[in-house]
Structure 1
């Protein structure tokens, strides 16, 4: 097996494992150190590292395989068994070490795949597959041993006539020294022989087991008869429990049966199969092997077995689990068998898990000759599986259920909904946890997370609740059987209250708060992924409000956000397909009441939503970075239009065109070159272009004018500060900026006599101050949002140069000879 893995993963040297060879070598050495000394096979450190390097490479390549399959994990598990590295201690160390397997950089998602694979989930699946592969190989090895016993018995039967004494000695040695506990009973079910291994498992002398009813010995109470129990016995050729006489419950040796959780028959072994005349098994006739009592004839009376002495049988009665595979029940010369896992509690209180195999051996006529029960101690295997299951479903740091267990609980809840049942999810995220990690270190951060987990569990855990850690500083509380949103909100407030007291970590008192997103809805209207996604979105809303805030899911708000997300996703395609267009609004000189400039304003002709104004999509473009490409397109369109107006004008005069620039465009060092190229291609003179920038856009991160502004100004392009007075105004730098004008925000103009409103004297004084400031700096002052004649007169009286607003004309398609005229 390992040779095949080495050839497939290491021969070409071009796969993901080859690309990560140094990391895999380091991981293989760590793995070898972890399992060193756990195998009876002697290997050098280099040999063990080479072996594990091949296995690590197989798992590493499986992480990015498309489609993903955990089969590689099973192959690795089998390889560990073949290499004698599958003792419980070695397997446990291997599974723990695999959590450190280097994660590859997978290629981008392929067509048809919605997103890149979750490597952590794949690694967990591979860990489980490794464990499953080991256990499967171990089970097959045990089955091979049992089959070997059967073959030996069948082979010895041929030699029984001439070598009966030799075969009896061979069987007696095998029977007495077998690691499996074995009991042989007569056709009526009374034990005629038991080996030392069985006596040790039961904690009793061999002599005390002979003559006992096999059903009593196994703790199978006919009063608890069921179809499953009858099937176990019937498949092995036994009488069904319902036909047996009752027994004393104090004689039971076994507790309730159970298969491994979620893995029926995982530890199952093949039953010991035999045929009449096998070594140590009497052949019908006068000759019976020495050391075995003669089997009573079918139907002959058998003296009842006395119960165990009072006070010694301290084992609770229980039923059998699901039957295993049956084979050949009732066929002459063949056996039937069935298997079940059961818990055994000995008189000394020690609890064991065993696998019970029931078989029957028949004579040539098909009549039961002997009944056999075999027990294998699978306690270590059961405990290993329990540990692995816990590791796969719980967070290793806090011990809380992890994402996998939470989704499993949700899947169960959604698959079995009760009418009218509701549930809630509270998604928590600690505020400023990164600051704790960066300032105090990850050890302190981990200790803080453990204390948070403890407080949440102490305060919130209950039969209808589950507290889980999603990863990082995120926790989720599942609340089942709620009566309405108030139940989930109350749990969220309890979670916040649990964190209200300062937490002492490493001698430091820390105050921690958490934002919480809450959803509550009917079970039948949700699914696991949708519910967690909705809670996560709501958490984002809560975090946006500040620290320690709580938000409840709102369907309408979510629908609006989904619509915005879809709108943002369609913008690149819209730009490529020419769905954007430009309208122009005139900027008028107050003294002459004539248009001297036109501002370019972009619009989107959406195929489904109609014409959208900039308020619907400019913010999305800025968030996505598309504003740079969109702004460049608007600039090109505006320059071409200005040149077209110049060609159509009788006097050939080129009007001034004004274009807005976003902050991200101003921070792009390529902007001056792009403007210069556009001016050259369109033929627009630089002094006929005005670029409008906000106050925040003209300063860099240190509060100084951006270098690109000076380059644009040196080209002759006019610069104007848009929405002046609404942002951060650094007046000491304002006088040194290479700008030509200021544009007062419409909020100031509104107070100068909007329709139906009187003039606000405070606003009047503010506007007067701003106008005087602009004039003092030698800048052209433009007021936007002018809608009434009263506002226009006030602004002209205050010395404002230009005005823009619906009084002079709305944004509209370009006219043939210029912007809209008065």
Structure 2
């Protein structure tokens, strides 16, 4: 009984094939994998190595099964071992030992007469394939290394050529003279800048030494310096020798020399001191002057101002701001604005040309003028009239006649004990005060107004920190029914207890805070804090009036923010009254009007503050869902003048308003007489200092909740 062999086309008696069972083959493969792994690192797991070697073992068994073993297959197995990285010092020896023992153990010893010969031939072929694969890998690796080395050399040469080209560009294009010299000073290479500095042609410089062009008195000292540099006594030579031009004229230059890396010469840089001084002057001028107008800048002006303060003659400082410059720039473009600025600068200089004066440009359309007074210097009014008259003459730019006026802040007879920066700041504040009154105005420095303004600005700047530190709080004023003096509600007001200035009136900081980003957050905080305090104090059914500013009203998030506050605390929108300034609504954009309608749609009561008797304000009552009005404070001050035409109109207006179902609130009441008069005129509610007393607004709303009478109205 015979069976076909896997390869070779030969037949063997059954039972003569070595390692006929899979179990025996797996056992040999496991041993082979273990021994080979101990000879070198293999980038495979142990299970993967076993599977690979088991496959190679099966191929060898196929090759040995026949009278003519398939040596080519055995050679491929040797190459495959190299591919698997079985290339340790003893990897091949372990492989031969394992395979020889396995392949020389036939299943039937009676049929093993030619088996050793076949196994030997196969193992020889395996070793041959193994060695050839290692040789090929080594050759390939060497070729790869050679190519990488060749590429590195080429890249290095390319970088060296690029570096050399850059050095040549620097050498040839440098404005400073550069010379490469030998140890004895002989000129090896020079650039055109050196020829220009030495006033020599290239042919007159070549072949000479650097010392030939140095004045004889300085020659030896320069040679000693080069010798010290060569001997390592100094790292770099710095000298200012006198050179001689072709015509024999001496000039001084700055020389810096360094020893070349190979110590066979020097590189020297020569700079003409006259050119350097000219360059320094140009840089200094650019640093101290405005690039657009050529006028001195703020830094130069401040230095000059400090100098003038030490002189005996009186001087006047003008801070000038062009009116309408932004309209020109926004409407006609930056180029037109710059042209107008240059013209304005020239005209300002022309006005003060006959005076001992300096004109400077600070920024944008702001200028400074400092005039040292003399007997012929015009007074301030005349000077300002001359400036505005000159500026208002049209200048034609791109076919359009343009003109400007200016606003002025003036500090006259400059005090000698004040820093220049403070004087400039004072002039700037005076200019802002003038600008707030309209174009073409001027204002003198007012110490009282200046100090008050600085204090107010400082308070606004400190508001974020005050809020963070808990200095900002809330105060409550009672809302009183004038008919019987009962407290029926409260108004929430921002309260600032300053650690140094004490309790501040709201007018001192809210007007300026309106211009900052903090005002929006303060408004939301005031509503939430007041509403939370009212509900916690048991006043859920009592209305709370919270006044808002124009910027708060313009916030598109206002309605959503307030609705969130009500939903999170107590959803009773009709008990929340929001005060809106009537004057702001008259000139408001659509954002404020839309927000007002959104608030009313939420059920919130809208109260118009500072309501007067103008037709525009009356029209608001038809256009907007108004719940109540709070009368203008100016009407309160005239409440005892029963013959006043204003009050007569107010009385008629109140009647009309109440017919429309709108509540009338008289605010800022100071006396009982005012309260009685407005109650007879038709006002239903009142509030003000009359009801808060000397203590001012209460910090605890609980003291107002629960009703009670307002003391000053009892028994009237």
1:560 paired to 2:452: yes
Partner of residue 185 from structure 2, selected from 137, 140, 151: 151
Partner of residue 776 from structure 1, selected from 659, 675, 679: 659
Instruction: Check conservation: 1:181, 1:376, Cα contact below 8 A.
Output: no
Instruction: Check conservation: 2:631, 2:665, Cα contact below 8 A.
Output: yes
Query: What is the distance in 2 between the residues matched to 1:673 and 1:474?
Result: 42
1:406 paired to 2:293: no
Instruction: Check conservation: 1:459, 1:495, Cα contact below 8 A.
Output: yes
1:634 paired to 2:526: yes
Cα–Cα, structure 1 residues 431 and 646, in superposed 2: closer, same or farther, change >3 Å?
same
1:798 paired to 2:681: yes
Query: What is the distance in 2 between the residues matched to 1:380 and 1:451?
Result: 33
- Aligned residue number for residue 354 of structure 1: 251
Equivalent residue runs for 1:132-531 within 5 Å: 138=176, 141=178, 151-152=185-186, 273=222, 339=241, 354-355=251-252, 386-410=281-305, 413=307, 418=310, 420=312, 423-461=315-353, 464-480=356-372, 494-520=386-412, 525-531=417-423
Query: What is the distance in 2 between the residues matched to 1:399 and 1:821?
Result: 72
Query: What is the distance in 2 between the residues matched to 1:820 and 1:695?
Result: 31
Partner of residue 818 from structure 1, selected from 684, 698, 706: 706
CA drift of 1:782 comes to 1.7
Look up the SS of the partner of 2:556 in the other structure: coil
Partner of residue 671 from structure 1, selected from 551, 555, 558: 558
Cα–Cα, structure 1 residues 785 and 353, in superposed 2: closer, same or farther, change >3 Å?
farther
Instruction: Check conservation: 1:517, 1:540, Cα contact below 8 A.
Output: yes
Partner of residue 614 from structure 1, selected from 506, 521, 528: 506
1:550 paired to 2:445: no
Partner of residue 427 from structure 2, selected from 535, 538, 546: 535
Cα–Cα, structure 1 residues 486 and 631, in superposed 2: closer, same or farther, change >3 Å?
farther
Query: What is the distance in 2 between the residues matched to 1:590 and 1:678?
Result: 31
- Aligned residue number for residue 706 of structure 1: 593
Query: What is the distance in 2 between the residues matched to 1:707 and 1:764?
Result: 32
CA drift of 1:779 comes to 0.9
More helix by share: 2
In our comparison, the structure showing a higher alpha carbon Rg is 2
TM-score for both structures, normalised by structure 1: 0.52
Partner of residue 170 from structure 2, selected from 75, 82, 85: 82
Query: What is the distance in 2 between the residues matched to 1:535 and 1:588?
Result: 47
Query: What is the distance in 2 between the residues matched to 1:387 and 1:625?
Result: 43
CA drift of 1:341 comes to 9.9
Query: What is the distance in 2 between the residues matched to 1:81 and 1:726?
Result: 82
- Structure 1: gaps spanning 5 or more residues: 1-46, 52-77, 88-137, 154-171, 186-235, 238-269, 279-336, 358-374, 648-652
| Root mean square deviation, CA, Å | 4.5
Instruction: Check conservation: 1:489, 1:518, Cα contact below 8 A.
Output: no
Instruction: Check conservation: 1:514, 1:547, Cα contact below 8 A.
Output: yes
1:691 paired to 2:578: yes
Cα–Cα, structure 1 residues 609 and 443, in superposed 2: closer, same or farther, change >3 Å?
closer
Query: What is the distance in 1 between the residues matched to 2:613 and 2:250?
Result: 76
Query: What is the distance in 2 between the residues matched to 1:179 and 1:571?
Result: 70
Equivalent residue runs for 1:624-773 within 5 Å: 624-646=516-538, 654-683=541-570, 685-698=572-585, 701-702=588-589, 706-725=593-612, 729=616, 731-753=618-640, 758-773=641-656
CA drift of 1:718 comes to 1.9
Cα–Cα, structure 1 residues 486 and 597, in superposed 2: closer, same or farther, change >3 Å?
farther
* CA offsets 1:456-482 (integer angstroms, 9 cap, x no match): 223324684222233433332233477
CA drift of 1:802 comes to 2.3
* CA offsets 1:312-366 (integer angstroms, 9 cap, x no match): xxxxxxxxxxxxxxxxxxxxxxxxx975799x9x99xxxx993389xxxxxxxxx
Look up the SS of the partner of 1:556 in the other structure: helix
Cα–Cα, structure 1 residues 405 and 599, in superposed 2: closer, same or farther, change >3 Å?
closer
Partner of residue 494 from structure 2, selected from 552, 577, 602: 602
Equivalent residue runs for 1:579-590 within 5 Å: 579-590=471-482
Query: What is the distance in 2 between the residues matched to 1:80 and 1:691?
Result: 77
CA drift of 1:604 comes to 1.7
CA drift of 1:433 comes to 1.5
Look up the SS of the partner of 1:525 in the other structure: coil
CA drift of 1:744 comes to 1.4
Look up the SS of the partner of 2:577 in the other structure: strand
Look up the SS of the partner of 2:296 in the other structure: coil
Instruction: Check conservation: 1:426, 1:488, Cα contact below 8 A.
Output: no
Cα–Cα, structure 1 residues 420 and 592, in superposed 2: closer, same or farther, change >3 Å?
same
Partner of residue 469 from structure 2, selected from 577, 580, 586: 577
Instruction: Check conservation: 1:482, 1:488, Cα contact below 8 A.
Output: no
Cα–Cα, structure 1 residues 435 and 640, in superposed 2: closer, same or farther, change >3 Å?
closer
Query: What is the distance in 1 between the residues matched to 2:271 and 2:554?
Result: 74
Instruction: Check conservation: 1:663, 1:696, Cα contact below 8 A.
Output: no
Cα–Cα, structure 1 residues 740 and 525, in superposed 2: closer, same or farther, change >3 Å?
same
Of residues 490-499 and 679-688 in structure 1, the stretch that sits farther from structure 2 once superposed is 490-499
Instruction: Check conservation: 1:693, 1:721, Cα contact below 8 A.
Output: yes
Instruction: Check conservation: 2:556, 2:591, Cα contact below 8 A.
Output: no
* CA offsets 1:50-69 (integer angstroms, 9 cap, x no match): 99xxxxxxxxxxxxxxxxxx
Cα–Cα, structure 1 residues 382 and 683, in superposed 2: closer, same or farther, change >3 Å?
closer
CA drift of 1:152 comes to 4.1
Equivalenced residue count is 502
Instruction: Check conservation: 2:606, 2:626, Cα contact below 8 A.
Output: yes
Query: What is the distance in 2 between the residues matched to 1:779 and 1:722?
Result: 13
CA drift of 1:774 comes to 0.9
Instruction: Check conservation: 1:80, 1:86, Cα contact below 8 A.
Output: no
Instruction: Check conservation: 1:749, 1:767, Cα contact below 8 A.
Output: no
